[in-house]
Chains A and B, each alone.
Chain A
Amino acid sequence: MTKITPEMVREHGLSDSEYATVLKLLGREPSFVELGIFSVMWSEHCSYKSTRVHLKKLPTKAPWVIQGPGENAGVIDIGDGDACIFKMESHNHPSFIEPYQGAATGVGGIMRDVFTMGARPIAMMNALRFGEPSHPKTRHLVSGVVSGIGGYGNCMGVPTVGGEVNFHKSYNGNILVNAMCVGLARQDKIFLSAAKGAGNPVVYVGSKTGRDGIHGATMASAEFDDASEEKRPTVQVGDPFTEKLLLEACLELMATDAIIAIQDMGAAGLTSSSAEMGDKGGSGIELNLDMVPQREENMTAYEMMLSESQERMLAVLKPGREDQARKIFEKWELDFAVIGITTDTNRLVIKHKGKVEADMPITALSDAAPIYERPFTKRAPMTGAPAYDKAKPVLASLEKILAAPDMASRRWVWEQYDNSVMNDTIQHPGGDAAVVRVHGTQKALAITTDVSPRYCRPDPFEGGKQAVAEAWRNLTAVGATPLAVTDNLNYGNPQKPEIMWEIVAGIDGIGEACRALDFPVIGGNCSLYNETNGEGILPTPAIGGVGLLKDVTKMATLAFKRAGDVVILIGETRGHLGQSIYLREIEGREEGAVPPVDLAVEKKNGDFVRGLIASGRVDTAHDASDGGVLVAIAEMAMAGKIGASIGQAGLADGISFWFGEDQARYVIAAPFAEAEKIVAEARAANIFVAELGKTGGDTLALDDSDSVAVSKLSAAHEGWFPRFMAGEEIPVRN
């Protein structure tokens, strides 16, 4: 047996105290395979050891929650016996090293998390953060990530319906690629991962196992440095063709009653899938690695247990159902092998070539995994209202903002994603939320991903709250009832107290908002150690939200529909410019307090707007957030190719009125008679409301003093991304 040296322990990312625990749990020195298994199962990526105590504080329950965190994905009730299953997950580190494959396998992995529970994936979203546009690597990374997401999702035939793209220098050495998958199942056909009972066959299906991705989970749990490119061999290679066959074969098998438990082999592959299934089922698992379909010769037990080869699943079947299952996988030309059996020993036993390579209690990998209450140092949130030049011309600033890297149209990105396959995409990318119909019904799901990282560094708590509120608002703006969220918490190194505080405050902010808005967290993922050479990313807790539209014909889109509609602003404007897009893009500063979110007002205003849409009275709505009210109105005008004449209302001066990022606001448009009623009802309900003007013409005219052609705004808005990607424009932020 290989002698375990302190160097080997360190290379496996285990601390001295963690290794001491390993020795205590086993009562002996681990084998090399066991050391590898502990290394991945106790990695931050698999064990959530730094965040677990804080994640417990999140609200996870509601009458419509069928399955909260802890399974492969969360499940909610969407009526009529239908269930929606969804989750968001990061693939940050691999995507920086190898953008195409990193992003592609991120998409593949999150799809497996959803279809392993019995759901057919019906929509994909993604939240992407890149370094500043002028950084020499940024274009290459954008290009690779976008084509990787498209390459995988398009082949799967699942529409990619939206997402976010941000640029900021804090991501120069550590981009974020968060992918979200939403699926549909019947409530009585949901599959879980608990391998209950002894003597049941453990089957391996999908692709063969190779040497790719060994220790991917460990890589994802460490900081980057300049030598990180050498980690390229730990990036997996995706094959969407095989995944598509695996999806169809699994759904075909799931239509039978042969399955006891099933789980995809994601991070830490065969190790985590077998350990987690045994742990949840309260049983043991014995695997014979001789039976594992292998792509390469002479693979060792260590390599097979730690491989992260893609497109593989592990299932526990009812005894005697192997042949029925085998026929289905053979039809789809996929590997199928019985590689083990469940036992009543609660131990994970790995045999290879007649030798026992590992024999360890499963609870040592789960319950006994380390949990840390890492120390954190509070930092006072940034405060104050920054000064700005009140004489700057408003419309010139608007045009500049619409063409800023964070604000320009993402058409260049989404046109590379098949967003209409499956024939149920009702709202395509570019709106507040994507809307995807539940096949064969009149109801639909609204889906969004949101976070404003620029708020999360100055004030991690308010930033966390705001991310949830904005997701809730975006679902509301299309008329959907927000139901639940998945969170993808991207932060730096949790062993630094100031970063740990960002994590704790962010989770607290998310929790507070989710509680106030009845918007439980049903699953998610933490990605820590997003640092390169000691520089952490902006805290980026991405929120993926899902809502339900009971009748898809009563829905709002952001485009102006008719000339003569009254443009109405719902929600109070105080002119909050701290940390705003305006301040950053026009004044060149990132300063001041972030806009506070009053959750009671958020709920009141949102419920009011949703009621107007659901009753069919309003078909045009948009949330006013990034860039403020004027940007929102410009987006509505550009989408509808209809102009508007508007004037400011309220006390704030022109610039702070038009560009302030006060929260809980919506712009809606409605014909005159309806608008009068809406304004009266809002006032009666003590909701701030203001009539800003009327739609019509082909210009955006401001206070009867200045105007700009909508087509000119569109040209600025649409032009930046293609020019940037063609290398024609490398902006330097002022």
Chain B
Amino acid sequence: MKSAVIVFPASNCDRDAATALEQMTGKKAAMVWHQDSVLPDVDLVVLPGGFSYGDYLRCGAMANQSKIMGAIKAHAAKGGAVLGICNGFQVLTESGLLPGALMRNAGLKFVCKPVSLSVEETQSSFTRKYDKGASVTFPVAHGEGNYYADTETLDRLEGEGRVMFRYRDNPNGSARDIAGILNEKRNVLGLMPHPERVVDPLNGGTDGRALFQGLIESLS
């Protein structure tokens, strides 16, 4: 599996994503600058966590205006895999690649801690290596991860099996405990928790590995 990590100004989990991808695939990820207009030939595009454009205006809003977004949308339209983590999830909702929005945490504070998630669906290249209903622990680290969508959208996401991860103990007020969702074509995943921070037993566990293993199996 070949992968690329997009670097926006003040992305700060770009290196973490690249390190995790290299550990899991054995290949270096391409680091793609936001002002580029073409993507290298890759199977997976990762929009990493961070504070793109300082979260000014709205989280992800400015990044969505970056030159590279055209290429990312085209990649997704062709069925290419896109993974948006944390700030990357916020960029994906801003871009319309995923529905809904991420608002200020209900507790009004930034929250960083390991959280327990349930894997809701395994019908996707991102979650196929997990057992349905499995409990996994990923860390969250965000101030604006409170997922919101209107009732109709939420019903549709649930009806179509597109809610992929749910919080067992909701840390941010997200509607229906939603932690991660898929697009209609099931090739774009956005989630607030950080799977790339749990691929190494020494620093927090290995629950994120299966997500990358699923992608490697599907995309290689």
Whether B148 is near chain A, meaning CB under 8 Å from some CB there, is no
Number of B residues near A (Cβ < 8 Å) is 30
Of the residues A239, A418, A437, contact of B203 by C-beta under 8 Å:
A437
Known: A244-B10, A423-B200, A437-B203. A418 touches B15 (CB 8 A): no
Q: Using A156-B12, A420-B112, A421-B12 as known contacts, say yes or no to A239 and B54 having CB atoms under 8 A apart.
A: yes
Structural contact, A421 and B13, CB atoms closer than 8 A:
yes
* Residue A416, interface by CB 8 Å: yes
Measured in the bound complex, the distance between the Cα atoms of B207 and A697 in whole Å is 29
Contacts of A150 in B (CB 8 A): 110
A245 x B9 contact (CB < 8 A): yes
Given A154-B141, A420-B139, A423-B19: A332 in contact with B203 (beta carbons within 8 A): no
Q: Does A655 make an interface contact (CB < 8 A)?
A: no
Q: Give the residue name and chain of the B residue nearest to A417 (CB).
A: B112
B51 touching A420 by the CB < 8 A rule? Answer: no
Q: Check if A426 is an interface residue, CB within 8 A of chain B.
A: yes
Complex: A704 Cα to B49 Cα, angstroms:
52
A426–B19 Cα distance when bound, in Å, is 16
Q: Does A698 contact B (CB under 8 A)?
A: no
B203 touches A244 (CB 8 A): no
**A20 lies within 8 A of chain B by Cβ:** no
Query: Does A370 reach chain B (CB closer than 8 Å)?
Result: no
Chain A residues bordering chain B, tally (CB within 8 A)? 32
Min CB distance, B92 to chain A, in Å?
20
A155–B51 contact, CB under 8 A?
A: yes
> Among residues 1 to 33 in chain B, which have CB atoms less than 8 Å away from a CB atom of chain A?
9-10, 12-13, 15-16, 19-20
Q: Mark A138-174, 1 if CB is under 8 A from B, else 0.
A: 0000000001001100111100000000000000000
- Given A241-B56, A426-B203, A553-B202, is A420 in contact with B109 using a C-beta cutoff of 8 Å? no
Q: Scoring A residues 402 to 445 as 1 if CB is less than 8 Å from chain B, else 0, what string do you get?
A: 00000000000011111111111110000000000101000000
- What is the bound-complex CA distance between A418 and B196, given in angstroms? 15
Contact residues of B between 131 and 149, Cβ < 8 Å to A: 139, 141, 143
The distance in angstroms between the C-alpha atoms of A425 and B19, with both chains bound, is: 14
B203 touches A155 (CB 8 A): no
B67 at interface by CB-CB < 8 Å: no
A240 within 8 A of B: yes
Chain B binding site: helix, strand, loop or mixed by DSSP? mixed
Which of A241, A245, A415, A439 lies in contact with B113, CB distance below 8 A? A415
From the candidates B15, B111, B200, name the one contacting A415 in the complex (CB within 8 A). B111
Closest to B114 in A: A420
Residue of B whose beta carbon sits closest to that of A427: B203
CB < 8 Å: which of A157, A332, A418 contacts B110?
A418
Interchain CB contact under 8 A, B12 and A420: no
* Contact yes or no, A154 B54, CB < 8 A: no
Report B-chain residues with C-beta under 8 Å of the C-beta of A552. 202
Contacts of A703 in B (CB 8 A): none
A424 with B12: CB separation less than 8 A: no
Chain B residues whose C-beta falls within 8 Å of the C-beta of A415 in the assembled complex: 111-113
B139 / chain A contacts, CB cutoff of 8 Å? 420
Return A46 CB to nearest CB of chain B, in Å. 30
Residues of A within 8 A of B9 (CB): 241, 244-245, 332-333
Taking CB atoms, residues of chain B closer than 8 Å to A240 are 10, 51, 54
Which residues of the other chain, A, contact B13 by a CB distance below 8 angstroms? 157, 421
Q: Which residues of B contact A245 (CB under 8 A)?
A: 9-10
Contact partner of B12 (CB less than 8 A), chosen from A155, A242, A333, A426, is: A155
Q: Which residues of B contact A239 (CB under 8 A)?
A: 54
Q: Which of B16, B53, B109, B111 is within 8 Å of A423, CB to CB?
A: B16
Q: Would you call B55 an interface residue if the criterion is a C-beta within 8 Å of the partner chain's C-beta atoms?
A: yes
B22-52: CB near A (< 8 Å → 1, else 0) gives: 0000000000000000000000000001110
Give CA–CA (A239, B51) in the complex, Å: 12
Q: Which of B108-126 contact A (CB under 8 A)?
A: 109-113
Check if B110 sits within 8 Å of A147, measured CB to CB: yes
Q: Which residues of B contact A155 (CB under 8 A)?
A: 10, 12, 51, 54-55
**Distance, CA A112 to CA B84, complexed state (A):** 30
Q: Which B residues form the contact surface with A (CB < 8 A)?
A: 9-10, 12-13, 15-16, 19-20, 49-51, 53-56, 109-113, 139, 141, 143, 194, 196-197, 200, 202-204
Please list 17 pairs of residues, one from A and one from B, whose beta carbons are closer than 8 Å in the complex, sorted by A's number.
A150-B110, A154-B110, A154-B112, A154-B141, A155-B54, A157-B12, A157-B50, A242-B54, A415-B111, A415-B112, A420-B194, A421-B13, A421-B141, A424-B203, A426-B203, A437-B202, A439-B19
Given contacts A420-B112, A420-B204, 13 further A-B contacts (CB under 8 A): A147-B109, A150-B110, A155-B55, A157-B12, A157-B51, A240-B54, A241-B10, A241-B54, A418-B112, A420-B194, A420-B203, A423-B197, A423-B203
